[in-house]
Structure 1
Amino acid sequence: MPIIPEQISAHILIWATALFILKQLIADFILQTAWMAKGKERQTGWVAPLAAHVGIHALCTLAICLFLLPHLAWLALADFLVHAAIDRSKSLLQAKFKFTPDQSGYWWMLGLDQTLHHATHLAFAVAIAAASVAG
């Protein structure tokens, strides 16, 4: 388990958390096009739409890191990889079980997807807040 210092910057933690919540809204809902949303769900031809979608997330994470703590800019790459894994896994499970919006399983998957993204962002926010006092 990673070690979190006894004292971290509450100021940075709050800002990072708020920015990542806003980032999730903007990148996952406002900037995601129909081409990305539908394309990343396909069984073939999904790589480009998924890469474009997670690329937007990575760029937003990069902006947050550059604003708060530039030496953690590498979190953008971590976000790219983690977000891609979460979204692709969701797509594969939805295809396997043939979930549609009129089934509760579809909404459970959406909720799990969003929860995993927010948990990732919380981990990033804690890392940024911890690193801000470490060095």
Structure 2
Amino acid sequence: MLLLTFKHIMADFVLQTAWMAHGKDQKHGWGLPLLVHCLIHLAVALPLILIVAPRFWFVALIDFGIHIIVDRAKGLVSANLHVNQEHPWFWTLIGVDQALHHLTGFGLSIFMAAN
């Protein structure tokens, strides 16, 4: 769980550019910024999982897929409801997004620990 949390902080905050952060929440042209962002998650997760639990390499792919779904859902809400930093739901939406990502890490950690 600690490694997946570290991965999330690195990929979602340290390595995410403004182009990715803003681009993935647009109505149009969101595909490439979202894909690049989620590929960074995969690129950070895969080596960490290979070091700690190599037989669970596929968990990085599951995390990648879930990250795309969660971030696109947030992007759809942001774009269609015009949620920007001035919108009263902005921080709630960020919080829900982050909670879902952390729950993903928690669930994947439980899966690996149980198997």
Q: Max radius of gyration: which structure?
A: 1
Q: Which residue of 2 aligns with 1:125?
A: 109
Q: Which residue of 1 aligns with 2:55?
A: 71
Q: How does 1:2-81 map to 2 (within 5 A)?
A: 17-81=1-65
State the Cα distance separating 1:103 from its structure 2 match. Answer: 2.7
Alignment gaps of 5+ in structure 1: 1-16
Higher relative contact order (CA 8 A, sep 6+): 1
The two structures have a TM-score, normalised by structure 2, of 0.93
| Shift >6 Å, 4+ stretches | none
| Equivalent-residue separation in structure 2 for 1:43 and 1:96 (angstroms) | 7
Q: Which residue of 2 aligns with 1:6?
A: none
State the Cα distance separating 1:61 from its structure 2 match. Answer: 1.7
Q: Which residue of 2 aligns with 1:90?
A: 74
RMSD: 1.1
After TM superposition, the structure 1 stretch with the greater mean CA deviation from structure 2, 89-98 or 116-125, is 89-98
SS at the partner of 1:104? Answer: coil
Q: Kindly, what percent of the aligned residue pairs are identical?
A: 38
| Equivalent-residue separation in structure 2 for 1:124 and 1:64 (angstroms) | 13
Alignment gaps of 5+ in structure 2: none
Matched, 1:116 2:100: yes
* Contact 2:35–2:68 (8 Å) recurs in 1: yes
